[in-house]
């Protein structure tokens, strides 16, 4: 089961290719099913949290604050600037800006675990950025893309409460008062999360197949640069701010990986054009692949350092 979860970028990539070749394989998963899928993912996140997890903010306030500031500073700036730099059509630019203003995704916790980074910091940053997203995502989205397309800030706020805050809160309460049930659910939840995010991404890519193929390099290049830039600037700026190497790498993963599933749902619920959801869907594919490559490199380096330390002793 752990191998299935670890290979989630492969499943997303394969499903996306299939969706481009024959969309009906995945386009049936649409509408309320996408919202339900994200709700299940966020419920799973809530179930993994204890009340004590939120107290971690008090034990590592500097690193958490730094990470969240970079999350909601670096990514929205990149989303805004890359939309203009690549000359994206209005709907694609809005989708890019929207996903750039989303909080970190739960997949980052898996990547940090695989890369042997600070998982506690990763989980804490994901939780805090998710809570802040209730206010910051609608506000920053309006700020970044409001000049291109009308942004229903109140609608975004309501959607985030529905698909993030409520499922996470239910999950936390279940973990506290229904431990037996949640322990059983936890055994299958990671696989369900991989399944639903794969279906969400493939469905949106399949539905926008023609537009994606017509967009050529511009859209793909913009989404790639959004996440590559997030990983790079997250690490460099964290180091410049005084974070140690492990913390900086963890912050890099958190900044570079967005809750793309949330971006898809927000796009579908709050914008008339289905094209707005395409950039968030592609976002999931790109950040998963880039992060997995980084995790492999950093895990290997961590293993080599451990062997070197053992030999020196």
Residues 6+ apart with CB under 8 A from 206: 19, 20, 23, 24, 25, 26, 27
Q: How far apart are the two ends of the chain, measured CA to CA in Å?
A: 36
pTM of the model: 0.80
Is residue 209 within 8 Å of residue 20, measured between CB atoms? yes
- Segment-wise mean pLDDT, segments of 10 residues, the chain, 313 residues: 71 86 89 80 74 66 89 94 91 92 81 77 82 87 76 76 78 83 80 82 81 80 94 95 91 90 84 85 84 80 58 54
Q: What dihedral angle (degrees, nearest 10) is formed by the CA atoms of 209, 214, 217, 219?
A: -60
Boundaries of every domain in the chain: 28-298
CATH architecture assigned to 28-298: Up-down Bundle (1.20)
Provide the pLDDT for residue 108. Answer: 82
Q: In Å, what is the CA distance from 109 to each residue of 124, 245, 250, 255? A: 10, 17, 9, 12
Task: Report yes or no: 218 and 86 within 8 Å, Cβ to Cβ.
Answer: yes
């Amino acid at each position: 089961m752990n191998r299935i979860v670890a290979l989630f970028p492969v499943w997303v990539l394969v499903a996306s290719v299939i969706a481009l070749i024959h969309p009906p394989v995945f386009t049936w998963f649409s509408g309320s099913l996408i919202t339900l899928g994200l709700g299940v993912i966020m419920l799973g996140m809530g179930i993994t949290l204890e009340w004590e997890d939120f107290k971690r903010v008090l034990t590592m306030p500097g690193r958490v604050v730094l990470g969240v500031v970079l999350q909601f500073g670096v990514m929205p700036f990149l989303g805004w600037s890359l939309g203009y730099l690549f000359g994206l059509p209005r709907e694609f630019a809005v989708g890019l800006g929207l996903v750039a203003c989303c909080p970190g995704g739960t997949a980052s916790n898996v990547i940090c675990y695989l890369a042997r980074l600070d998982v506690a910091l990763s989980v804490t940053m994901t939780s805090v950025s998710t809570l802040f997203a209730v206010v910051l995502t609608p506000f920053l989205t309006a700020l970044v893309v409001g000049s291109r397309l009308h942004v229903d800030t109140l609608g975004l706020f309501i959607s985030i409460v529905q698909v993030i805050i409520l499922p996470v809160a239910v999950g936390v309460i279940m973990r506290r008062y229904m431990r037996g049930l949640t322990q059983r659910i936890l055994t299958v939840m990671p696989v369900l999360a991989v399944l639903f995010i794969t279906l969400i991404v493939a469905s949106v890519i399949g539905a926008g197949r023609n537009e994606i193929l017509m967009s050529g390099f511009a859209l793909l290049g913009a989404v790639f640069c959004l996440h590559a830039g997030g990983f790079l600037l997250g690490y460099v700026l964290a180091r410049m701010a005084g974070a140690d190497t492990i913390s900086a790498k963890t912050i890099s993963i958190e900044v570079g990986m967005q809750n793309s599933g949330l971006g898809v749902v927000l796009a579908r619920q709050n914008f008339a054009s289905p094209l707005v959801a395409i950039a968030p869907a592609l976002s999931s594919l790109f950040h998963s692949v880039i992060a997995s490559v980084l995790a492999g490199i950093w895990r290997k380096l961590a293993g080599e350092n451990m062997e070197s330390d053992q030999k020196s002793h």
